[in-house]
């Protein structure tokens, strides 16, 4: 994507089959956390408004933090709690492939792919 304007971001989200939300953060004071990034949150809002499938993803080491991530989400995005998060293990190709398959299976189950 060469055009990085807000309008181009919105168009990309609204014309996607799936939006992967790679949720990160080390706690409430982490300024680099996903929930502190205005454009990341806006992409979720556009996706939810359009009905685009959102798939939250976390690194394996953050799997136990999913509840914290949900609690720290802005009120209008708490609905992310109703979506099954997928954890990804980047240290082992076989586990990585399993995570990718889970993401694709969840998208197919929502019938976002033909």
Give pLDDT tens digits for 33-89: 888 899 999 999 999 999 999 999 999 999 999 999 999 999 999 999 999 999 999
pLDDT at 27 over 80: no
Mean pLDDT on 5-34 = 89
Mean pLDDT on 9-23 = 92
Whole-number mean pLDDT of the chain?
90
Q: Which residues of 67-105 are buried (b: 16+ CB within 10 A; e: fewer)?
A: eebbebbeeebeebeeeebbbbbeeeeeeeeebeebeee
CA distances from 31 to 40, 47, 66, 85 (A): 13, 23, 18, 22
Can you tell me the distance from the alpha carbon of 106 to that of 9, in angstroms, rounded to the nearest whole number?
A: 23
Mean pLDDT on 90-111 = 90
Mean pLDDT on 96-101 = 94
The answer to whether the CB of 9 falls within 8 A of the CB of 52 is no
- Order of strands, edge to edge, in the sheet holding 53-59? 18-22, 53-59, 86-88
pTM reported for the whole predicted model = 0.86
Angle at 44 between CA 43 and CA 50, to 5 degrees: 90
Using the 8-state DSSP alphabet, how is residue 31 labeled? T
Whole-number pLDDT of residue 101? 93
CA 86 to centroid of chain Cα atoms: 9
């Amino acid at each position: 994507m060469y055009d990085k304007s807000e309008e181009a971001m919105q168009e990309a989200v609204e014309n996607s089959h799936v939006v992967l939300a790679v949720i990160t953060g080390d706690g409430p004071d982490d300024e680099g956390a996903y929930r502190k990034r205005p454009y990341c949150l806006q992409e979720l809002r556009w996706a939810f408004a359009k009905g685009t499938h959102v798939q939250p993803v976390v690194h394996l080491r953050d799997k136990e933090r999913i509840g914290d991530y949900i609690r720290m989400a802005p009120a209008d995005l708490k609905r992310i709690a109703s979506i099954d998060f997928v954890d990804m293990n980047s240290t082992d190709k076989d586990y990585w492939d399993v995570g990718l398959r889970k993401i694709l299976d969840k998208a197919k189950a929502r019938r976002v792919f033909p």
